[in-house]
Amino acid sequence: MGKTRHTACARGRLPIQGMPRMRGAAATVLVAVLLAAPAVSACTTCRPAVQAGIFDERFWGRLAITVLPFLVILLVVAVLYRARPRAFPGEEQAG
């Protein structure tokens, strides 16, 4: 039983006959059900206000503020990456 299951999984199929076709249909149904769930359409009245609050004239400035610390950190990491290896006294310099 275990061996059969392992072989079937290795081929990317479920062990039950007919399941590969059903998987696509099941996934479609699952996505449809999830999209139809009340949580997806929650807050319908406030969503335009949220979008307006995000994508206003301050968007690019706020994006720059959010990215800035990461850019500084990437600069430090680039310097670290390119740092020349240091040898101990009496050792040959690598590279």
Q: Which residues bind other proteins (CB under 8 A)?
A: 43, 46, 49-50, 53-54, 62-63, 65-70, 72-73, 76-78, 80-83, 85-88, 94-95
DSSP string, 26-70: HHHHHHHHHHHSTTTTTTTTTHHHHHHHHSSTTHHHHHHHHHHHH
Minimum gap (Å) between residue 39 Cβ and other proteins: 14
CA-CA distance, 27 to 33, in Å (whole number)?
Answer: 10
If the CB atoms of residues 19 and 46 are measured against other proteins, the closer one turns out to be 46
Is the Cβ of residue 22 or residue 77 nearer to other proteins in the bound state? Answer: 77
- Which of 15, 53 has the CB closer to other proteins? 53
Task: Extract the tokens encoding 37.
Answer: 């769930």
Q: How far is the CB of 20 from other proteins (least distance, A)?
A: 30
Number of residues that make up the chain: 95
